[in-house]
């Protein structure tokens, strides 16, 4: 070993010991006859000291030539620091260096490699191997490592077996575009990279494996944002001979274990909410429960009073922001402009301020008396000091707009505390959802999701009303996992394919292997997949998953460090029987 200790290891009890450290030069402070060097490795920082009179002159000159990010080896005696630094664990000692070797000099880095850096996103992505030297980034990957180990520990204790599934598979409709890989030995044919191991984990249940999991790479060719990458990681799980409740209990246990072992937090009770209630009271299927602000419908109180905007609306609905009556008219106008932005799409906003003296002031006083507004306040459960905000229009878009407004108010009022965690199971999702572009139903989750048995007759009469045995785990308004009880017999699977618009031939071509497997004794089964990168970001208090991935892509799906994707040579294309003809 080139070192006896790490740069985060030495303390006062090591004083007078001869040690050898190796690492990167964090910074050099040269006072002429006195030089301090901060030496850094993955474990911490230790100060080296070179002092005129007690340090060899040649050694002092050598230390003066050190630059940032030089890789060096230093030997010497541990001494107590006269001026201690209580901000680092090694701040009570320093190394009086007697030998110094430069293992590798370094160019001046393109940005400062410290917690607070001057490097922008693109620059740090281009030199990601340097960015990974920063504590704040490395700590995120250490968190990821810890969560991975604790996941395996929990799953093993629950009798799950980790099985790897293929990466080169068949293209199937999973909801996003596939990444495809040409086959050299089968010209004109392509593999796809898996969007998830869905069919394989179901086949493992048919194989009798009973409890499977995998921490697995998945691939989706879709537009990117902060919580999306073209390649991402799932904790993928499946169980046989279980009900939905068994799965919820098992994987609620996993999440509680992770919070307890990694963050020292007891999650306590995890609420269950139907999809219908989530949409009715929060306007989306992943509500943030760190704060209340439930939707209150006002149709019966607001309509029929001569205010045509409300009278003509399909839905009048609002939220009560506790303690926000102090909002000025300017702040309310800014909120109104915010909901009218194209991204939100509201036509306008009505407010009611519940003043401290008990009076009610609104933007629609012309149409509603104090008694009318008092009825509104009663419906909201409002008190003096509260602010009621009301939107109207067609039901679906108005709920979506109010959901965005609710989240903004939660943010503005400081109610979305990243140190607070509110998990929630959302259950009873619709099996199908209508697509206006294609004018047909699509599977809300995937084609293998089981409908609730009592709803199966509705497939013929009212497909949109059919509920699925599907569930999502939501934490702080972020979906971190989703799954379902699966279809496990050929007849029901064929019925599902029929209602999704598959011909018998299409279903056989794409999923014949799975339906045939169902005829060889498939057990009832179900599972869930957690977005591991998202889970790590929530644990780390981040909005983006990017820093929890060692070498991520940018928003264009490019790795600017290695310049990928890139063109390939003509002879390689010829070998693959591919000719490139780009559309102009």
Give binding residues for ATP as ranges: 220-222, 229, 479, 531-534
Nearest to 251 by CA among 538, 541, 530: 530
Which segments of 413-500 does DSSP mark as H helices, in order?
Answer: 458-461, 490-499
Query: On the CB side of 522, how many CA atoms lie within 13 Å of its CA?
Result: 24
Strand partners, 391: 317
Residues 6+ away with beta carbon under 8 Å from 473: 251, 252, 255, 423, 424, 425, 479, 480, 481, 482, 528, 530
Task: State the DSSP code for 108.
Answer: P
Q: Which two tokens stand for residue 519?
A: 């005829």
Residue located via tokens 């599934």: 165
State the Cα–Cα distance between residues 50 and 88, nearest whole angstrom.
20
State the Cα–Cα distance between residues 263 and 257, nearest whole angstrom.
10
C-beta of residue 348 within 8 angstroms of C-beta of residue 364: no
Task: State the DSSP code for 468.
Answer: B
User: How big is the CA angle at 250 (ends 244 and 253), to the nearest 5 degrees?
Assistant: 135
Q: If DSSP codes are grouped into helix, strand and coil, which group holds residue 432?
A: strand
- List, as residue ranges, the binding site for L-aspartate: 174, 220, 445, 486
Strand partners, 467: 430
CB atoms closer than 10 angstroms to residue 1:
6
- List, as residue ranges, the binding site: 174, 220-222, 229, 445, 479, 486, 531-534
SS3 content of the chain, % helix, strand, coil (to 5): 30, 25, 45
Return phi, psi of residue 508, to 5°.
-65, -40
State the Cα–Cα distance between residues 348 and 89, nearest whole angstrom.
56
């Amino acid at each position: 070993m080139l070192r006896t200790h790490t740069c985060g290891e030495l303390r006062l009890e090591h004083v007078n010991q001869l040690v050898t450290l190796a690492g990167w030069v964090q910074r050099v402070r040269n006072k002429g006859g006195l030089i301090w060097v901060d030496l850094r490795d993955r474990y911490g920082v230790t100060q080296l000291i070179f002092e005129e009179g007690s340090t060899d002159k040649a050694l002092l000159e050598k230390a003066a030539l050190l630059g940032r990010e030089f890789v060096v080896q230093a030997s010497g005696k541990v001494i107590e620091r006269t001026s201690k630094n209580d901000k680092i664990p090694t701040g009570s000692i320093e190394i009086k260096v007697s030998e110094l070797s430069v293992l590798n000099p370094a160019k001046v880095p393109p940005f400062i490699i410290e917690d607070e850096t001057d490097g922008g996103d693109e620059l740090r992505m281009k030199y990601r191997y340097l960015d990974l030297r920063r504590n704040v980034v490395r700590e995120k990957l250490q968190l990821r490592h810890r969560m991975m180990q604790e996941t395996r520990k929990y799953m093993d204790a629950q009798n799950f077996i980790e099985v790897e599934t293929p990466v080169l598979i068949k293209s199937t409709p999973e909801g996003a575009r596939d990444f495809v890989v040409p086959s050299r030995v089968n010209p004109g044919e392509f593999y796809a990279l898996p969007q998830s191991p869905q069919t394989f984990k179901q086949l493992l249940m048919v194989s009798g494996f009973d409890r499977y999991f995998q921490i697995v790479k998945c691939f989706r060719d879709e537009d990117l944002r902060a919580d999306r990458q073209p390649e991402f990681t799932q904790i993928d799980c499946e169980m046989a001979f279980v009900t939905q409740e068994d799965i919820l209990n098992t994987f609620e246990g996993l999440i509680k274990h992770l919070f307890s072992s990694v963050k020292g937090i007891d999650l306590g009770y995890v609420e269950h909410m139907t999809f219908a209630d989530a949409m009715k009271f929060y306007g989306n299927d992943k509500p943030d429960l760190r704060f209340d602000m439930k939707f209150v419908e006002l149709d019966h109180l607001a309509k029929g009073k001569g205010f045509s905007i409300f009278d003509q609306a399909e839905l009048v609905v609002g939220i009560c922001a506790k303690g926000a009556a102090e909002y000025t008219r300017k702040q309310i106008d800014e909120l109104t402009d915010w909901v009218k932005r194209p991204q939100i799409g509201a036509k306008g906003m009505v407010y009611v301020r519940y003043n401290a003296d008990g009076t009610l002031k609104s933007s629609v006083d012309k149409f509603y008396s104090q008694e009318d507004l008092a009825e509104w306040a009663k419906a909201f459960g409002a008190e003096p000091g509260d602010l009621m905000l009301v939107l109207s229009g067609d039901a679906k878009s108005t709920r979506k707009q109010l959901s965005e407004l609710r989240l903004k108010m939660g943010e503005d009022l400081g109610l979305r505390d990243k140190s607070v965690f509110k998990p929630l199971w959302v259950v009873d999702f619709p099996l199908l959802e209508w697509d206006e572009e294609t004018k047909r139903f699509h599977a809300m989750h995937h084609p293998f999701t089981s409908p609730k048995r009592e709803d199966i007759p509705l497939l013929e009469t009212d497909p949109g009303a059919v509920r699925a045995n599907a569930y999502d785990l939501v934490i702080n308004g972020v979906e971190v996992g989703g799954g379902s009880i699966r279809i496990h017999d050929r007849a029901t699977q064929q019925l599902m394919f029929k209602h999704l618009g598959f011909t018998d031939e299409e279903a056989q071509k794409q999923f014949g292997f799975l339906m045939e497997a169902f005829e060889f004794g498939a057990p009832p089964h179900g599972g869930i997949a957690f977005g591991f990168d998202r889970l790590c970001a929530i644990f780390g208090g981040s909005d983006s998953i990017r820093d929890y991935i060692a070498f991520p892509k940018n928003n264009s799906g490019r790795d600017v460090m290695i310049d990928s994707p890139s063109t390939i040579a003509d002879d390689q294309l010829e070998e693959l029987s591919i000719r490139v003809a780009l559309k102009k």
